[in-house]
Amino acid sequence: MFEIVELVRKGRDNPFSLSVNFDGQPVDFSSASSFELNVGGVSITAGIVGNSTGELTFNIQDEDVPIGTHIAELIVYDPGHLDGQVIVDKHSDKLLKIKFV
């Protein structure tokens, strides 16, 4: 299993970005209506932006997530996935962990 660990400094202006590819091609997030990040028992729906080149930017340092390292679940909502499509979670072959300090 492949792990990505990102660092979030609570209360600081340090967003992080991820590039998302499927079969070697960037995922187009330009039609996404919203994103949901579930991490540390908190559901975050603001501060996440995606673009057409597969890049997601997370500006989530002010969220009330407990300090520590948490496995994240990322869900994207768009016209083709009104109930949301899971991009990554604890069952994925790539694991996203976010460390809040």
Is the predicted pLDDT of residue 32 greater than 80, yes or no? yes
CA distance 22 to 39: 23
Residues 36-86 have pLDDT tens digits of 999 999 999 999 999 999 999 999 999 999 999 999 999 999 999 999 999
* pLDDT score of 1: 67
Decide if 50 contacts 19 (C-beta within 8 A). no
Q: CA-CA distances (angstroms) from residue 77 to 12, 13, 33, 100?
A: 28, 26, 6, 25
Q: Provide the CATH number for the domain formed by 2-100 in this structure.
A: 2.60.40.3350
What pTM was estimated for this model as a whole?
A: 0.91
Q: Say what the pLDDT of residue 101 is.
A: 96
CA distance to 10, 19, 28, 30, 53, per residue, from 7 (Å): 9, 16, 25, 25, 23
